[in-house]
Amino acid sequence: KGCESFYRDKHMRYPRPDGGDGAKGGDIVFVAKRSIQTLLDFKFKQHYKAEKGGNASSGGRTGRTGKDCFLFVPCGTIIKDDDTGLVIKDLTKDEQSVIVARGGIGGWGNGEHKTIRPPKNGEKRFVRLELKLIADVGLIGFPNAGKSTLITSVSKVKSKIANYPFTTKQPILGIVPGDDFSFVIADLPGLIEGAHEGKGLGDRFLRHAERTKILVHMVDMAGTEMRDPIEDYEKINHEIYSYSDQFMIKHKLLVANKMDLPEAKKNLNRFRERVKEDIIPLSAHTQEGVDELISRLRELLCQENSQEK
């Protein structure tokens, strides 16, 4: 707060006001860092304060400005106002920052002002943090479509693989190396019907898919577990388009996986008669056709990157 004081010596007839001004309090600032991967720290500590501004004193001495409180989050963090749900900032780039609560304003002393003014309190705000993974390529499809097998074969990541649905329960990132450039691929957990409404935590996974530059839609062409590849394809399309119109304009590659299994070739012929889209047949298990997929992805990413420049 500001100081009200007066200076007087033996040579002065009247005392002179010399109270300093109080200092501003620190701000709460969120900063995106590429080196940070999760929001786990905020699970254990959820309340933060910046430093108070210092009080003024006589002799025109102002208080010391309060230090800002910097909170570091991964790139891809969306900060929302908890009361209104409105987005405050979408932190997508390294070192990008935003002030979510401003520090208080210091009070006036009587040294520079005709009247003193009390200090104003800083802002108090509740925010909600959401993390959207930022990957170049996202793998989507029904559970057991072979996404985990593919990402394991093309990158160094070891995604858990087993013959039951929902083997992958959270998005997993892998890096596909290359001589010209490497790219990040995300193994997104399998979607189910009603995912855009939140079933199976599908709406959370679709948030991550929305951030990718390219989507690889994997279809189990062998029809294991008595599934119909055409129905699976149409249902996944319904889920992503119901969730966001952004998926309409996003680059997508259609992949027919498990071509090494019986019934796959027969199903692929039937699929091509019904779905008039380019499709890449492959086997993530034997890796036949995987090189073609990676080559196509590199071409599309080069196009995307050149458009961003």
Taking 80 as the threshold, does the pLDDT of residue 126 lie above it?
yes
pLDDT at residue 199 in the model? 45
pLDDT at residue 282 in the model? 96
- What domains lie within the chain, and their CATH numbers? 1-131 (2.70.210.12), 137-308 (3.40.50.300)
Which segments of the chain does DSSP mark as H helices, in order? 41-44, 147-154, 202-211, 229-243, 246-249, 264-274, 290-308
pLDDT at residue 197 in the model? 47
d(CA 67, CA 253): 50
Place of tokens 């401003």: 102
pLDDT at residue 190 in the model? 55
> Would you say the C-alpha torsion 230, 232, 238, 244 has a positive or negative sign?
negative
Place of tokens 């196009």: 303
Segment 152-205, tens digit of pLDDT: 888 865 544 434 443 344 667 788 888 777 888 888 765 555 444 444 444 566
Instruction: Taking residues 64-82, report their average pLDDT.
Output: 92
Between 293 and 245, name the one with better pLDDT: 293
d(CA 209, CA 137): 8
pLDDT at residue 166 in the model? 39
Reduced to 3 states (helix: H, G, I; strand: E, B; else coil), residue 265 is helix
With b meaning 16 or more CB within 10 Å and e meaning fewer, what string describes 245-267? eebeeeebbbbbbbbebeebeeb
Amino acid in position 13: R
Q: What is the pTM of this model?
A: 0.60
With cut-offs at 50, 70 and 90, classify the pLDDT of residue 59. Answer: confident
pLDDT at residue 128 in the model? 94
With cut-offs at 50, 70 and 90, classify the pLDDT of residue 271. Answer: very high
DSSP per-residue codes, 174-213 = EEE--SS--EEEEEPPPP-TTGGGTGGGHHHHHHHHHH-S
Which two tokens mark 287? 């890796």
Contact partners, residue 182, CB within 8 Å, separation at least 6: 175, 176
User: Pick from 99, 139, 97: which is nearest to 123 by CA?
Assistant: 99
pLDDT at residue 254 in the model? 96
Taking 60 as the threshold, does the pLDDT of residue 109 lie above it?
yes
With cut-offs at 50, 70 and 90, classify the pLDDT of residue 68. Answer: very high
Instruction: Taking residues 199-220, report their average pLDDT.
Output: 75
pLDDT at residue 168 in the model? 40
DSSP per-residue codes, 141-159 = -STTSSHHHHHHHHSS---
pLDDT above 90: percentage of residues in the chain: 39
Contact partners, residue 190, CB within 8 Å, separation at least 6: 141, 142, 143, 144, 145, 147, 165, 166, 167, 168, 200
Taking 50 as the threshold, does the pLDDT of residue 287 lie above it?
yes
Centre a 10 Å sphere on the Cβ of residue 15 and count the other Cβ atoms it contains: 11
Instruction: Taking residues 8-24, report their average pLDDT.
Output: 80
Candidate ranges 18-22, 54-58, 98-102; pick with highest mean pLDDT: 98-102
pLDDT at residue 297 in the model? 94
pLDDT at residue 286 in the model? 94
